[in-house]
Structure 1
Amino acid sequence: MSSFALRVKSKSGHHIINNLQPESTIKELKSELASLTHITVHSLQVLSGFPPKLFDITNENQTLTASGLTSGETLIIEERAENKQEQDPKMRASSSELLQAINEQENCQGILIKHVVPADNSCLFSSLFFVLNRKIDDSGEAVKWFRELVAETISKDTETYSEAILGKPVTEYCSWIKEPTSWGGAIELSVLANHYGIEIAVVDTMNGIINRFGEDQKYPVRVYLMFDGIHYDPLYMESFKDGDIKTMFQSEDEATLKHAEQLAREAKSSRQFTDVDNFTLKCLVCGILLRGQVEAQQHAKGTGHANFGEV
């Protein structure tokens, strides 16, 4: 019997299902989807076709062939919000609200997906390179150039980037940020947003919010990064129609911004972040293991060691 392959897209990434058969049931499909996407079976919402429309997964005994699915098709998986509409008449959606929700799904051009970059202390710079070029900096030269650009910008504008802002003398900070073991953060995002004339929207999964760097400058282009407390990854939108990816968006694109805001809230609710008070770091100077940012800061203050790596 021939296999029945399906492409799966969700906010956790891309997947392939290739262990089903045409006579496999919807119940078996739901089990596979739940396992791949880490969404419970009861919360699965499946969209198929173009434009994507809700696919009925309620008839669990129906075969994949009978359901209308074809091998090689792409499924979009979302998490359905749990509700109590049946128990509470006040919470029932009106017909117009349901139609609006369906129209929004059908008009959606794609889905925001995280592209994972290495946790090598340069994740912010690697993520920015990806959204600017739609590819990874395999050579590491761009990351090095980003660091030098930040240092040069800061050294030439000590009024904006004063010792009080940097937390250390300007010359010391400039030397520090050029080291491959130093992490970039808000200061680097501000510098790079202004240099490229773009707004950098950071989806903060710990707080469920979006921090927008360069927003006050009204730049015409916006890019998206995701931050889990210690690590940055770039976000891109993959088209439902042809699989093409998009990393730059018009700053007036409110639909994508709302999509990102929803992503931030969902990531927070499912605890897709790192507890910065309890994660483990290693001092790359003396090798000692430290728990949380407070211990790392105390160690740096007492020893002068400032290079830490993720464990």
Structure 2
Amino acid sequence: MLRLRCKARSGSHALGGLTAHSRLRDMQAALAALTGVPAAAQRLLLGFPPRHIDLSDGERRLGELGIHSGDTLIVEEEPPAQRASPPLAKRAMGSPAAPVLARRVVPADNSCLFTSVSYVVEGGVFDAACAPEMRGLIAHIVASDPEAYSEAVLGKTNQEYCEWIRKEETWGGAIEVSILSKFYQCEICVVDTQTVRIDRFGEDAGYTKRVLLIYDGIHYDPLERRIPDSDVPPQTIFSTADDVVLAQALELADEARRKRQFTDVNRFTLRCMVCQKGLTGQAEAREHAKETGHTNFGEV
């Protein structure tokens, strides 16, 4: 049995965004990201002598459970055989499912970054034809400020870049995410499944809105919060004060990493998990993805 201690609130880790009004399920998701113990396997103890916290209702607020800022929680991981299933009566009643953060897969057509950004900033509206307009928008912004977007920044002349980014076979990356963050006045968080790291574009700009993408070294997809088996539209725009969603995103990325759903673009040999073709290096992976549309690579 794994036993860990952590503070209920601390600016140094994923529990920093929780308050007495936060839900129990939010704290469990943050604890899962911090400790690696899945919510379903957690046993939580509070106070001295330690008392068990009732985890049967994830919708209860932390204040109702007597959890306050500065409290020390003990997180224990139960062995699989000891994990209890919900009581039959409760399951029969069909308690509301908790929202989950999930990947929304978009086409692998060289424009996945632009499609993904469009999807999240538009509140979950998928537009397969948005890429040319977004490429043109980026080119216009860059061309209008050649001093800020110089050759030293772009890696090519301002004019060459503007011509290059308009081409449908050109892939977007960090420069384009930074430009779109400024244009849409929102923080764009890119969660890397290889490093389990979040790159936050616009973090210091004082924006109040946040959107999230997940990146595997080749392909971008948008992230959204869904309620399982519900007709409620997914949520793609979050508050920049919502640290729970960042913890959930890291948990999602770590799960993908454990399943080796990433591509190390600097040094790797890999295999296309669709057609099983062996590939070496970033150039071959990009070319194969462009030719076939296959984007599911596993490192060998």
Distance 1:81 1:254, change over 3 A: closer
Unaligned runs of 5+ in 1: 1-50, 54-77, 86-90, 282-288, 300-306
Is 1:130 the counterpart of 2:135 in the alignment?
Answer: no
Residue in structure 1 matching 2:100, options 111, 115, 118:
111
- Asked if 1:225 is matched to 2:213, the reply is yes
Give the secondary-structure state (helix, strand or coil) at the position aligned to 1:112. strand
Alpha carbons of 1:100 and 1:128: their partners in 2 closer, same or farther (altered >3 Å)? farther
Q: Map residues 253-264 of structure 1 onto 2, 5 A cutoff.
A: 253-264=242-253
Letter in 2 for 1:275: D
Alignment of 1:170-181 (within 5 A): 170-181=158-169
SS at match of 2:190: strand
Aligned length: 213
Length-normalised TM-score, structure 2? 0.60
Deviations 1:17-61 (A, max 9, x none): xxxxxxxxxxxxxxxxxxxxxxxxxxxxxxxxxx999xxxxxxxx
Give me the whole-angstrom Cα distance separating, in 2, the residues matched to 1:170 and 1:100.
Answer: 59
Question: What is the aligned counterpart of 1:212 among 182, 194, 200?
Answer: 200
Amino acid at match of 1:166: L
- The TM-score with structure 1 as length reference comes to 0.58
Q: 1:103 to 1:200 in 2, by over 3 A?
A: farther
Larger Rg: 1
Shift of 1:176: 0.5
Partner of 2:8 in structure 1? none
Corresponding residue SS for 2:148: coil
Change (3 A) 1:109 1:256: farther
- Report deviation, 1:92: 8.4
Letter in 2 for 1:264: A
- Tell me the CA shift for residue 106 of structure 1: 5.4
Whether 1:190 aligns to 2:171 is no
Q: Aligned-pair distance for 1:279?
A: 6.7
Q: Are residues 264 and 150 of structure 1, via their aligned partners in 2, closer, same or farther at CA, if it must alter by over 3 Å?
A: same
Deviations 1:83-126 (A, max 9, x none): xx9xxxxx986356862876767569511110100111000001
CA contact 2:106–2:116 (8 Å) conserved in 1: yes
Q: 1:246 corresponds to which letter in structure 2?
A: Q
Change (3 A) 1:278 1:308: farther
Deviation at 1:158, TM superposition (A): 2.2
CA drift at 1:208: 0.2
1:200 paired with 2:191, answer no
Identity %: 40
Counterpart CA distance in 2 for 1:95 and 1:252 is 26
User: Counterpart in 2 of 1:15?
Assistant: none
Amino acid at match of 1:234: P
Structure 2 CA distance for partners of 1:255 and 1:92, relative to 1, 3 Å: closer
The Cα shift of 1:203 comes to 1.0
The correspondence of residues 1-311 of structure 1 with structure 2, limited to 5 A, is 81=37, 94-95=45-46, 99=53, 110-133=99-122, 134-138=124-128, 140=129, 142-239=130-227, 242-244=230-232, 245-276=234-265, 277-278=267-268, 291-293=280-282
Say if 1:165 and 1:251 are closer, same or farther in 2 by CA, change over 3 A: same
Amino acid in the other structure paired with 1:158: P
AA partner of residue 118 (structure 2): F
- TM superposition shift of 1:294: 6.1
* 274 and 98 in structure 1: CA distance in 2 versus 1, 3 angstrom threshold: farther
Task: Indicate if the aligned counterparts of 2:214 and 2:222 stay in contact, CA closer than 8 A.
Answer: yes
Q: Name stretches of at least 5 consecutive residues in structure 2 with no aligned partner.
A: 1-22, 26-31, 62-96, 272-277, 295-300
What residue identity is the alignment partner of 2:148? T
